[in-house]
Structure 1
Amino acid sequence: MANQNRNQKQNRNQNQNRNQNQNLNQNQNQNPNPQTNAAVDEDFNLRETRPSLGGGRVSGYDHVGTAFDLVEQMDYLYMRVVKAKELPGSPDPFVELKLGGSKSATRHLEKTSAPAWNQVFSILKDHIQAPHIEISVKDKGRSGDDLIGIVVFDAIDVPRRVPPDSPLAPEWYRLENRRGERVTGELMIAIWMGTQADEAFPEAWHLDVTTVTGDGVASIRSKVYLSPRLWYLRVNVIEAQELQLCDRNRQQPEIFVRVAHGNMILRTKISESRNTNPLWNEDLMFAVAEPFEEQLVLCVEDKVGPNKDEVLGKCMIPLQGVEKRMDFKPPVSRWYNLEKHTGSENGQRNGNRLNSRVHLRISLDGGYHVLDELTHYSSDLRPTARQLWKPAIGVLELGILNAQNLTPMKMKDGRGFTDAYCVAKYGQKWIRTRTILNSFNPKWNEQYTWEVFDPCTVITIGVFDNCQLQGDNRGGKDSRIGKVRIRLSTLETGRVYTHFYPLIVLSPSGVKKMGEIQLAVRFSCASLSNMLLMYSQPLLPNLHYSHPLSCHQIEILRHQATQIVSTRLSRSEPPLRKEVVEYMLDVGSNLWSVRRSKANHYRIARILSAIVKFIKWFNQICTWNSPFITVLVHILFLAFVCFPWMILSTIFLYLFLIGTWNYRGRPRHPPHMDVKLSQADTALNDELDEEFDTFPTSQKQIDILKMRYDRLRAIASRVQTVLGDMATQGERFYNLLSWRDPRATALFLILCLIASVLLYITPPKVVVTVIGFYTMRYPRFRDQRPSYPMNFLRRLPARTDSLL
């Protein structure tokens, strides 16, 4: 018997080795690109570090935080040039600051003897290469020697300022010539030594950034952005009356309503009542942002032929007077008069008021949450209306320390270089660090803070290469270097996490590690009870459950919201460019990809592997491979038959013991981008070419094939989303006992222990009766909102945070 088992195992191993060799040969033939295969050898893992942070601390547990205590303190020399007075003549003055080989200048003012600049300059203390600071007042209108006067300071004697001390008061200094003689005029300046915590740091011009000129200087500064406040605009088109057809002999007009807001246009279906009093009763929804600058344009049109529509009436509706709703109470409906615009002989358009009118119900819905609920990486789950907001439960602090081994992104004079900056997004607040020029190992050491209203949210940090330093927008798009996501619920409160996160980018040539970024993250909780209470609350506002949106509406609204956010942020100074915003918001992540489908397939297979293991184990029990264990199982089975009320109690007790045992191996680090989970290391060239193809495709020339190909990708993207959702739900069940979210696992284990005790002392008939009557309870006692277990399950983390 033992020899037979040994022979079967040997044959099974030989077959497995033969299959592995065949698969390896097939992969080598299908994927001749060495870059894709070499990507497996790169280190894509997370590395824990213990840097010296503010005040000399290291990472660990620290419940009491101070300003800028998550980053290394960097000393800067600040120089504020305020104004001058009594300059000779009517010069065009400007101020030039020089410190060794570093220099910079203020803007020049025309024809004034009392100019005012009020500009701040800074330089890193480690970059100071001269003992003296030379500040010169010059005249741009002069030719030759343009010096008006000079002031010299000793860099060693500069006083130090530590916030929250008040800003250093500027002083008047007399101007001298190069020989040290007194000249006419005085200059008001302030010089001090400070850190990056100084309030002057974000607006300071750095003296060591001499290669950037003009408008490009603004694009290297750190900034904080606020995304616009978004609302859902609901337009309920009810009916129209007394429409005047262009062709009075037309018996059955095909009338519909076209509604436009900005660049977004939606239309109703053709009315089934083919007369001049059509009826629709159809909802059209838009995503709009405050302030409501654009009007709502509504046109009633008649489809008179293929690609030919005639306007029967038009009205313009300003959104400032539209009713704002916090719940789903129907707004008041109104009749709007229609106008028809005609052209005159002088080229002007005249509006003629008609007897026609349209019946509408318009509202701005603030009870929904816009944009982020449509992705797996939500950073804010609150409704739009501030009246529905609840107090913050904690604070998120992020220290962006440095990066290492970045890949050259641009070429100049045959040499590669990178101008890197970071962008972080959480809630409505976006931040952008300053750009570190020409460095593969940039150091930012900038710290930012967000209020946290829900722990089951994700912060996204992206690294980009600045291509706008010339100030004329000729640099093209900012290149992406990599992205990191961190789910707050996976962090222990009060602990400072310091890690090097790999920066991974997927391109048509394969996956590549672009470097590493070092972050310091701390999630502080004000009240543990309030945070634990959040696990029983619905993930989204109530209107998402009482009046849910369709999948088609969600896709359209998210596209609108993304375009609004990218447009608004690109209008800031310096602009947060569209390609940066779309990369941070994962635009296009729902499109079809063979690689993503494979990743979701293996995620589901990983969840089902536990069932497969149980079946194999039970098969071993049935085949008596281990007689001792088989006898124990028989005894346990007999005990359950004799005492059936112990089944559920034992199951919950077993789950409690498993979860307690898994506490020793609980995850110690936040999740990160996983190349193997994303199937990025094994993707074939043709799969990557399809993934990076445009939608609709630009690769095919035959129209019919193009149509079928696009349709296949559209259907497959839905299947991919369903597979991803199934995998997410399975991973959430798996993470009940994995301590991925330590608070959720602790709550579940406590419930298991309580359930085990209650089910042990409660007769089974009572349990079954209570469950049955509760399941079949009267509708009046039912709540439209999700149940507490469902809310708890939806808040559990999944491995979606680690997908590329």
Structure 2
Amino acid sequence: MANQQNQPGRGDEYKLKDTSPNLGERWPHQRSSGWFGMVTGDKLTSTYDLVEQMYYLYARVVKAKDLPPNPVTGSLDPYVEVKLGNYKGTTRHFDKRTNPEWNHVFAFSKEHVQSTALEVFVRDREMVGRDDIIGRVVFDLNEVPTRVPPDSPLAPQWYRLEDQRGESKVRGEVMVAVWMGTQADEAFPEAWHSDAASVQGEGVVNIRSKVYVSPKLWYLRVNVIEAQDVAPNEKGRLPEAFIKAQVGNQVLKTKVSAAKTTNPTWNEDLVFVAAEPFEEHLVLNVEDRVSPTKDELLGRLVLPMTLFERRLDHRPVHSRWFNMERFGLAVLEGGETRKELKFSSRVHLRVCLEGAYHVMDESTMYISDTRPTARQLWKQPVGVLEVGILSAQGLAPMKSKDGRGTTDAYCVAKYSQKWVRTRTVIDSFNPKWNEQYTWEVYDPCTVITFAVFDNCHVGEKPAPATAKDTRIGKVRIRLSTLEMDRIYTHTHPLVVLQPSGVKKMGELHLAVRFTCLSIVGVIYLYMHPLLPKMHYIHPFTITQVDSLRYQAMSIVAARLGRAEPPLRKEAVEYMLDVDSHMWSMRRSKANFFRIMSLLSGTIGVFRWLEEVRRWRNPVTTLLVHVLFVILICYPELILPTVFLYMFLIGVWNFRWRPRHPAHMDAKLSWAEAIHPDELDEEFDTFPTSKPHDVVRMRYDRLRSVAGRIQTVVGDVATQGERLQSLLSWRDPRATALFVVFCLVAALALYMTPFQVVALLAGFYALRHPRFRSKLPSAPSNFFKRLPSRIDSML
């Protein structure tokens, strides 16, 4: 296949495979025809063009009226049963109600239909024995109309109930709408599906497809300046005061004031993460360090988040004085207690909410959004990302049911603030979802992440609190590596690292298309900073970034876990790579060999020069002599020749540009030949679960330090791979820009004396700091947006 990856030494099971699905196929049918009348008539174009169309028979049961009560009990507990062949679904029942309302939708897949009639039964629930049939309505599938969005929903109608033989009418009516449609129908996500007929009760909610939105994140920057009239509980001594600030479960402390005084000063910044809508308060405690093991509370201040200014730029924030609740100790009959004192101390603060760039809820290696929090600072979108989550093939059994292996798979996709979750396909190793989703793209140098999970919450009874959805595999795709307006249809290997080693769990079939709305806007982005301006004007330390990222992940996981159905914590953490900064011998080896792979090109150049020096190829050596003499005689040709050479290399490499998106590479991740002891260390808990206390302390310290080294090594490898990608066409727009720049630079340098160029470059490098900006330069912004192979690592 043209788009299939061909790398030596790679097993077929880890390859990316090109496919040719029937995307957006037009099914011929007539608007007024029924289920079996789809051979003639006008053709309707699907609204989904990145998935295979799946047809369903929909039945919406709205309500009933004038139902007759049971002649024996005098009451009625009605519910509706919808039956199509061997498949049947039921609504919930109502106690003692003759005019119930259900508004329930049933969806029967066309692939499983073996009947020509749809039966709707209204039944009376009995505690003992068989439920009585009040009446029924029968629909001939040949007469069922077809609906294709954007048509308005089909209006439900009242139908008189018939007896079981259909010979006479009975008392009561039911309001029903029956139509034939596709997965593009608005009723699809909330419908009861025939392929999940075994799921009942609470499990029905947990299998539906949903769209989630990450909470809006803000930095809460608290500048603690000073305090006044801080009196210790023990008279005759000066306090060693410090501030302890808390937002939710985030706790930060200032240093102890340098001077022992009742008016301590700190001037320290404490930064938290907060999410809208704000549910926590900022709690400030003034405490006294009485001894190394004892702190006493001297005062407290509780401030709501709505009180603080939202800073959208680098303008200064005015400081304010706040009165604190001051506490002292009183001895009562029950012992020592705390009482509030009337005399109050004050604390001087400068507090503001800063727009947190959304990338903070994930690892910065896999940025999916670079916009600031404040919507008024957003630019216009430069493109549209459309994704069709088609299916999965060959999934491994993840659990046992009735003595056999089974998998209840669903897929999660995350890009920017939008998360999507497909419906769960019950008991299938080859699930078909065929669901399409769309995102606005504000920066193409971002990554979309997919992951497949096994749903363990499909039972009728709630699953135990310890039950977790099992991860099956993950796929990441960098948008900048995609050609515009091209549809990529590949099966991506689902590779996961387990305590027993690396394992392929199946394949995920995707259709991806990136449509550009403004090529000028894309080119503009390549020359501008990757993150918002506040990130560079008021930067954070590495320690702050790690802490804030972890807190943001926790907030996002908690908020999405409260949705219905919940996107559970284990899924969110896997999507956000919560453990990516932990020490791993495997990752360190992988990053080391990435660097060695980069250095192999430089080593090859030196070997070639050694071969020229040794006259291994006389013709080549003579040509090098001629070129050397020309450059010595005409030094102004050196730079134009270098740029022209890179231009020719870029044009030459265009023929071998990648034709497929990146995928999870087990060999690059050094996961195929990992030692069992190293694997056991990677899956060890943090802190370690090893028994000896001294070993635990040293082991954790080693892992923490080694994790930093691992990150630095990975960053070095990333920079080198970005440099390598300049002419590799991995990012076609970036390479095109660089190749054109090389051509323009070569022509300009041919016409400009070398001495002038050198003089201007020297003056520019030595320019006065007043003429320098804190923002990174255009070449630096361009370089930071280039892709690296980090997207392909496990």
Q: Tell me, yes or no, whether TM beats 0.5.
A: yes
Q: Within 5 Å, give how 1:705-744 maps onto structure 2.
A: 705-744=695-734
Residues 639, 749 of structure 2: 8 Å contact kept: yes
Query: In the TM superposition, what are the counterparts of 1:583-602 in structure 2 within 5 Å?
Result: 583-602=574-593
**Contact 1:91-1:113 within 8 A present in 2 as well:** yes
Query: Is the Cα contact below 8 Å between 2:362 and 2:553 reproduced in 1?
Result: no
Percent identical pairs in the alignment equals 60
Kept after mapping to 1: 8 A contact 2:53/2:183: yes
Would the aligned equivalents of 1:327 and 1:367 in 2 still touch at CA under 8 Å?
A: no
1:416 aligns with 2:405: yes
Q: What's the CA shift for 1:354?
A: 3.4
Tell me which of 311, 318, 328 is aligned to 2:297: 311
**Where does residue 58 of structure 2 map in the other structure?**
78
- Amino acid in the other structure paired with 1:595: R
Aligned-residue Cα RMSD (Å) equals 1.8
- Structure 1 letter corresponding to 2:512: V
Q: What is residue 184 of structure 1 aligned with on the other side?
A: 171
- Distance in 2 (CA, whole Å) between partners of 1:93 and 1:322 is 54
Residues of 2 paired with 1:789 and 1:601: CA distance? 27
Residues 568-717 of structure 1 mapped to structure 2, 5 A cutoff: 568-699=559-690, 701-717=691-707
**CA deviations over 1:498-535 (Å, ceiling 9, x no partner):** 00000000011110000001100000011111111110
SS in 1 for 2:324: strand
Match of 2:784 in 1: 794
In the alignment, which of 283, 290, 308 is matched to residue 276 of structure 2? 290
Relative to the length of structure 2, the TM-score reads 0.93
Secondary structure in structure 1 of the residue aligned to 2:635: coil
In the alignment, which of 394, 414, 427 is matched to residue 416 of structure 2? 427
Residues 459 and 488, structure 1, Cα contact 8 Å, conserved in 2: yes
Structure 1 window deviating more from structure 2 (720-729 vs 621-630): it is 621-630
Query: Which of 245, 257, 265 is equivalent to 2:232?
Result: 245
**1:130 counterpart SS class:** coil
1:367 to 1:581, Cα distance in 2 relative to 1, 3 A: closer
Aligned position for 1:46: 16
In the TM superposition, residue 545 of structure 1 has moved relative to its aligned partner by: 1.2
- d(CA) in 2 for partners of 1:250 and 1:56? 85
8 A contact 2:241–2:287 mirrored in 1? yes
Question: Which residue of the other structure, out of 457, 460, 467, is the alignment partner of 2:456?
Answer: 467
Residue by residue over 1:76-102, the C-alpha shift from the partner in whole angstroms, topping out at 9 and shown as x without a partner, is 000000111111234221111111211
AA partner of residue 798 (structure 1)? S
C-alpha displacement at 1:66, in angstroms? 6.8
Q: Deviation digits for residues 187-230 of structure 1, max 9, x if unmatched?
A: 00000000000011011011332211111101111000001000
Q: Counterpart amino acid of 1:128? A: V
For 2:267 and 2:277, the matched residues in 1 are separated by: 28
Q: Deviations over 1:259-304 (max 9, x none)?
A: 0111111111111011111100000001110011111111000111
Query: Is the Cα–Cα contact under 8 Å of residues 297 and 327 in structure 2 kept in the other structure?
Result: no
Q: Which residue of 1 aligns with 2:323?
A: 337
Inter-CA distance 577–558: structure 2 relative to 1 (3 Å threshold): same
Shift, 1:658, TM fit: 0.6
Instruction: Say whether 1:543 aligns with 2:529.
Output: no
**Candidates 196, 213, 232, aligned match of 2:183:** 196
Unaligned runs of 5+ in 1: 1-38, 58-64
- Gap change, CA 1:97 and 1:349, over 3 Å in 2: farther
SS in 1 for 2:368: coil
Deviation track 1:149-188 (CA, whole Å, cap 9, x = no partner) reads 1112222321111111111111100112223322111000
What is the aligned partner in structure 2 of residue 68 from structure 1? Answer: 48
2:80 corresponds in structure 1 to: 95
Aligned ranges for residues 128-277 of structure 1 at < 5 Å?
Answer: 128-141=113-126, 143-144=128-129, 145-180=131-166, 181-251=168-238, 253-277=239-263
- Does the residue aligned with 1:436 lie in a helix, a strand or coil? coil
SS state at 1:355 partner: coil
Q: 2:741 aligns with which of 747, 751, 761?
A: 751
Kindly provide the amino acid, as one letter, of the partner of residue 565 in structure 2: P
Structure 2 regions of 5+ residues with no counterpart? 1-8, 28-44, 70-74
Cα shift at 1:370: 5.0
Deviation at 1:143, TM superposition (A): 4.8
Aligned length: 757
> Counterpart of 2:556 in 1: which secondary structure?
helix
Q: Determine the C-alpha separation between the residues in 1 that align with 2:339 and 2:385.
A: 57
**291-300 vs 338-347, greater mean Cα deviation:** 338-347
**Within 1, Cα distance between the matches of 2:763 and 2:362?**
34
Task: Report if the CA contact (8 A) 1:370-1:383 is conserved.
Answer: no
Structure 2 CA distance for aligned equivalents of residues 645 and 56 of structure 1: 62
**Counterpart for residue 38 of structure 2:** none
**What is the alpha-carbon distance in structure 2 between the residues aligned to residue 309 and residue 773 of structure 1?**
58
> Cα 1:349–1:421, aligned 2, differ >3 Å: closer, same or farther?
farther
* Matches of 1:522 and 1:406, distance apart in 2: 25
Q: CA deviation at 1:334?
A: 1.1
Contact 1:369–1:540 (8 Å) recurs in 2: no
Query: Matches of 1:672 and 1:462 in 2, distance apart?
Result: 12
Change (3 A) 1:374 1:681: closer
**2:366 partner SS:** coil
For 1:107, the equivalent position in structure 2 comes to 92
Q: Which amino acid aligns with 1:135?
A: V
Structure 1 stretch displaced more, 109-118 or 388-397: 109-118
Specify the SS of the correspondent of 1:152: strand
- Contact persistence 1:94–1:137 (CA under 8 A): yes
Measured against aligned partners, the alpha-carbon deviations of 1:237-267 in whole angstroms (never above 9, x if no partner) come to 111110121111224x321110011111111
| SS across alignment from 1:506 | strand
* 1:306 CA displacement: 3.0
Q: Which moved more, 1:702-711 or 1:278-287?
A: 702-711
What is the 5 A alignment of 1:478-493? 478-493=469-484
Are the counterparts in 2 of residues 595 and 687 from structure 1 also a CA contact under 8 Å? yes
Structure 1 segment 395-544 matched on structure 2, within 5 A: 395-470=384-459, 471-474=461-464, 476-544=467-535
The answer to whether the Cα contact below 8 Å between 2:298 and 2:327 also exists between their aligned partners in 1 is no
Change beyond 3 A, Cα 1:550–1:695: same
Q: Secondary structure at the match of 2:149?
A: coil
C-alpha distance in 1 between matches for 2:359 and 2:721: 26
Counterpart residue identity of residue 187, structure 2 = A
CA–CA distance in structure 1, aligned partners of residues 221 and 16 of structure 2: 45
In 2, are the aligned partners of 1:91 and 1:141 still within 8 Å (CA)? no
2:362·2:578 contact (CA, 8 Å) conserved in 1?
A: no
Q: Which residue of 1 aligns with 2:6?
A: none
Question: Which of 768, 772, 775 is the equivalent residue of 1:778?
Answer: 768
Counterpart of 1:565 in structure 2 is 556
Letter paired with 2:67: L
Given the superposition, is the C-alpha separation of residues 325 and 605 from structure 1 closer, same or farther in structure 2, using an over 3 Å criterion?
same
Letter in 1 for 2:378: W
In the alignment, the residues of structure 1 paired with residue 363 and residue 494 of structure 2 have an alpha-carbon distance, to the nearest angstrom, of 25
Return the alpha-carbon distance in structure 1 between the equivalents of residues 254 and 568 of structure 2: 34
Listed as ranges, the matches of 1:308-387 within 5 Å are 308-340=294-326, 351-366=340-355, 368-372=357-361, 374-387=363-376
Partner residue, 1:28: none
Question: Are 2:761 and 1:761 aligned?
Answer: no
Contact 1:372-1:378 within 8 A present in 2 as well: no
Q: What amino acid is aligned across from residue 304 of structure 2 in structure 1? A: P
Q: Distance in 2 between matches of 1:66 and 1:789?
A: 44
